[in-house]
Amino acid sequence: MSILIRGGTVVTAEGERRADVRIVGESVVEVGEGLSPDGARVIDAGGAYVIPGGIDPHTHMELPFMGTVASEDFFTGTSAAAAGGTTMCIDFVIPGPKQNIIEAYKQWRGWAEKAACDYSFHVAITWWDESVRRDMGILCQEHGVNSFKHFMAYKNAIMCDDETLVNSFKRCKELGALATLHAENGELVYVLQQDIFNQGITGPEGHPLSRPPEVEGEAANRAIRIAEVLGVPVYIVHNSCIDALEAITRARLEGQIVFGEVLAQHLVIDDSVYRNPDWRTAAHYVMSPPFRSKEHQAALWKGLQAGMLQTTATDHCCFCTPQKEAGKDDFRKIPNGTGGIEDRMGVLWHHGVRSGRLTPSQFVAATSTNCARIFNLYPKKGTIQVGADADIVVWDPNKTRTISASTHHQNIDFNIYEGMEITGNAAVTLSRGRVVWSDGQLSTERGTGRYVNRPCFADFWSSQNARNAAAVPTPVKRG
């Protein structure tokens, strides 16, 4: 089966050019001007951009969390992703306290077999002993895992204390794996939650009060400093505020290998949502870190434009209204999480490219290529070139739609962007050469997504190791 995408402007992180793209089977086999169909199915991309499928580095399909399970499963979630132009996600295996990490990894692999687009897994380190150390090696060497997640928040649940963090960072360094972090000071959050609740603030407005920007900045700084001492590269997920951005920026300017992710929703939604008089609407936005004031949003945009933040994600973690109602009388019990995998690309195009903040190439870098490079998927994923997987989107820059739960494909009964009109949408989405979205119709199939191995990337980290080695003191020779 061959396909010719004809007449579009191909955009990669490096630039744009008019070119046709020929696909045979699952891969791109030719990129050039005036290619002849030679019997291929022709997809007309006239007036459109042809871009690499989006990669979402941060999702939580069917996650068991806070006494419930996220409503979006791997099939519905990856299908909704395809409708919005995202063709791959990296989800999280989150072992319970003392759960064997390989057993947890296999559990998640089983759940993900229904996925309709490609996927991979970060594995969370929530506890520590010698078996975890050993199994991190097995996951890297035998299962294509090259990134481990550390939750610095969620005390009494999945929080990773500093002892575990340090042990795991050292192991990441040995393996050439990337340490990723949810940066919030979990002890502080815990204390603030009790204080605020005891003051009689029980509604969703208590949520951001218990997680101020300083709580995030402290944890980001701590993680980065620990990583600096140990010489380990780190990736901080869902940065929401100036405090975390400053920590990343300082470290990067000092030459440390630190990556930063920003969520589309943190860029365009502010903290006024928590003061909505309707409890349900306010509760829909309970996620961590919380939405912030407009000055933080403006800083995040600048961080993305300046390359201090490299990736954009969704932290897609759907809880429907009845699930959120578990915290009706206590904001601490509202399951934390928001959805948005279907809307990330459109929201970022509209508010990023159409507003003049990002070029189309910067958009491609921030939605696909940078993620592929950082997590070692490139150039199979994250670009359009001969040999790459044909995860490709024909992107119509003039197509307008109004985001709504009544029309979205996500398995959640509300949409955090409800009513937002965006221009720029996926016209056609291909997942490894299969058309999965076209003319407003999904044609995804359960189980056609494939697990993607991500080998450790030892060479990539060597400059950091060298930098640290140079600073190692030698013992004083005596007598």
> Which residue in 45, 117, 317, 364 binds ligand URP (CB under 6 A)?
317
Q: Which residue is nearest to ligand URP (CB)?
A: 336
Give dist(CA 201, CA 204) in Å, integer.
9
Does position 369 interact with ligand URP (CB under 6 A)? The reply is no
Q: Which does 337 bind (CB under 5 to 8 A by kind): ligand URP, Zn ion, none?
A: ligand URP
> Which residue in 336, 415, 425, 431 binds ligand URP (CB under 6 A)?
336
Residue 128 contacts residue 172 (beta carbons within 8 Å): no
Task: Name the residue nearer to ligand URP (CB basis): 59 or 369.
Answer: 59
Q: Which does 287 bind (CB under 5 to 8 A by kind): Zn ion, ligand URP, none?
A: ligand URP
In the complex, the smallest distance separating the C-beta of residue 286 from ligand URP, rounded to whole angstroms, is 7
> What is the identity of the amino acid at 336?
N
Task: Name the residue nearer to ligand URP (CB basis): 13 or 181.
Answer: 181
Tokens of 219: 């944890």
Beta strands 15-24 and 2-12 are: antiparallel
My answer on whether omega of the bond before 289 falls inside 30° of 0, hence cis, is yes
State whether residue 228 is helix, strand or coil.
Answer: helix
Task: Name the residue nearer to ligand URP (CB basis): 132 or 181.
Answer: 181
In the complex, the smallest distance separating the C-beta of residue 65 from ligand URP, rounded to whole angstroms, is 6
> Which residue in 337, 352, 433, 449 binds ligand URP (CB under 6 A)?
337
Residue 55 contacts residue 310 (beta carbons within 8 Å): no
Give dist(CA 394, CA 400) in Å, integer.
15
Q: Which residue is nearest to Zn ion (CB)?
A: 182
In the complex, the smallest distance separating the C-beta of residue 245 from ligand URP, rounded to whole angstroms, is 18
Q: What are phi and psi of 314, to 5 degrees?
A: -125, -25
Q: What are phi and psi of 204, to 5 degrees?
A: -60, -20
Element (H, E) at 363: helix 360-364
Per residue in 428-459, is it b (16+ CB within 10 Å) or e — as a string? bbbbbbbbbbeeeeeebeeebbbebebebbee
Non-local CB neighbours of 46 within 8 Å, separated by 6+ positions: 6, 7, 8
Kindly list the distances between the CA atom of residue 68 and the CA atoms of 110, 140, 177, 320, in Å, as whole numbers in the listed order.
19, 30, 31, 10
Q: How many residues bind ligand URP (CB under 6 A)?
A: 8
Q: Looking at residues 32 to 61 of the shown chain, list those that interact with ligand URP (rule: CB under 6 A).
A: 60
In the complex, the smallest distance separating the C-beta of residue 57 from ligand URP, rounded to whole angstroms, is 12
In the complex, the smallest distance separating the C-beta of residue 302 from ligand URP, rounded to whole angstroms, is 23
Q: Which does 207 bind (CB under 5 to 8 A by kind): Zn ion, ligand URP, none?
A: none
Binding mask 285-304 for ligand URP (x = CB under 6 A): --xx----------------
In the complex, the smallest distance separating the C-beta of residue 153 from Zn ion, rounded to whole angstroms, is 7
Task: Name the residue nearer to ligand URP (CB basis): 87 or 265.
Answer: 265
Residue 101 contacts residue 139 (beta carbons within 8 Å): yes
Binding mask 438-477 for ligand URP (x = CB under 6 A): ----------------------------------------
Task: Name the residue nearer to Zn ion (CB basis): 11 or 320.
Answer: 320
Task: Name the residue nearer to ligand URP (CB basis): 78 or 265.
Answer: 265
Give dist(CA 442, CA 190) in Å, integer.
43
In the complex, the smallest distance separating the C-beta of residue 46 from Zn ion, rounded to whole angstroms, is 39
> Which residue in 143, 182, 211, 344 binds ligand URP (CB under 6 A)?
182
**Could you please report the per-residue DSSP string of 149-201?**
EEES--TTTT---HHHHHHHHHHHHHHTPEEEEE---HHHHHHHHHHHHHTT-
What residues line the site for Zn ion (CB under 5 A)? Answer: 182, 315
* Site residues (vs ligand URP, CB under 6 A): 60, 182, 287-288, 315, 317, 336-337
